[in-house]
Chain A
Amino acid sequence: MRWTYRVMFLTLMAVIAGWILVAGNVKLPELVTAALRQPTGSADLVYYDPLPAGAMDDEKCEWVPASAGTVLAAAPQDGAPALAEASGKKPVRMIRDRYPSYSAVAVDPSNNEVVLTDENLFNVLVYNRLVNTSAAARTEPKRAIGGLKTKIEFQSGVYIDPKNGDIYAVNNDTVDTLVVFSRQAKGDVRPDRELQTPHGTFGIAVDEEHQELLLTVQHDSAVVTFEKTAESEDAPIRLLQGEHTLLADPHGIALDTKNDLIFVTNHGSVHQVRPGAVAASGRRRDRNLQKSNWPLGFSNAIPGSGKILPPSVTVYPRTASGDAAPVRVIQGPNTQMNWPTGIAFDPRSNELFVANDMGDSILVFNASANGDVAPIRVLKGPKTLIKNPTGIYVDTNNDELWVANFGNHTATAYKLSAAGDTAPLRVIRSAPADQPTLSIGNPHPVAYDSKREQLLVPN
Chain B
Amino acid sequence: MHSIAYDEIHDEFVVPQQFGQAILTFRGGADGEEVPVRVIQGSLTQLRNPDRLAIDPVHNEIFVPQGNAVLVFPREAKGNVAPIRVLKGPDTQLGASALAVDPVHDLLIVGGNVRGRGSRLLIFNRTDEGNMKPKAIIGGPNSGLTQISGPFAVYPPKNAIVVSVRGSSSESNEMSSDECFVGVWSTQDNGDVPPRWTIGGPKGILRMVRGVDLDPKNKSVIVTDKRLNAVLTFYFPEMF
A residues near B, CB below 8 A?
42-45, 48, 50-51, 53-57, 62-68, 72-73, 76, 80-81, 83-97, 119-122, 148, 151, 153, 174-175, 218-219, 221, 248-249, 269-271, 285, 298, 301, 303-308, 338, 358, 440-452, 455-459
Contacts and interface: CB of A to CB of B under 8 A. Distances in A.
A445 B232 contact: no
A301 B46 CA distance: 11
A218 B17 CA distance: 13
A448 B200 contact: no
Contacts of B133: none
Contacts of B127: none
9 tightest CB-CB pairs across the interface, nearest first? A306-B21, A96-B230, A269-B19, A445-B211, A269-B20, A458-B1, A304-B43, A298-B49, A91-B232
B231 A446 contact: yes
Interface of B: 1-6, 8-11, 13, 15, 17-22, 28-29, 33, 41-49, 52, 57-60, 76, 80, 103-105, 150-151, 157-159, 169, 174-176, 181, 186, 188, 193-205, 210-215, 217, 220, 222-238
Contact of B57 (A43, A301, A308, A441): A43
Given A43-B58, A303-B48, A444-B226, A458 B4 contact: yes
A271 B21 contact: yes
B213 A446 contact: yes
B4 A445 contact: yes
A93 B199 contact: no
A447 B4 contact: yes
A84 B196 contact: yes
A452 B29 contact: yes
A87 B57 contact: no
A65 B197 contact: yes
A87 B181 contact: yes
B20 A271 contact: yes
Contact of A458 (B15, B212, B228): B15
Given A50-B104, A271-B21, A443-B211, A91 B233 contact: yes
Secondary structure type dominating chain A contacts: loop
A132 to B, nearest CB: 28
A91 B21 contact: no
A44 B48 contact: no
A451 B8 contact: yes
Given A51-B159, A458-B1, A92 B6 contact: no
B11 A451 contact: yes
Contact of B105 (A50, A83, A87, A218): A50
A131 B157 CA distance: 58
Nearest to A51: B159
A77 to B, nearest CB: 12
Given A358-B33, A447-B13, A94 B230 contact: yes
B224 A457 contact: yes
A61 to B, nearest CB: 10
A396 B220 CA distance: 53
A338 B33 CA distance: 10
A308 B15 CA distance: 15
A92 B237 CA distance: 12
A178 to B, nearest CB: 15
A270 B21 CA distance: 8
6 contacts: A43-B58, A45-B104, A48-B104, A87-B198, A94-B233, A303-B46
A43 B9 contact: yes
A459 B1 CA distance: 7
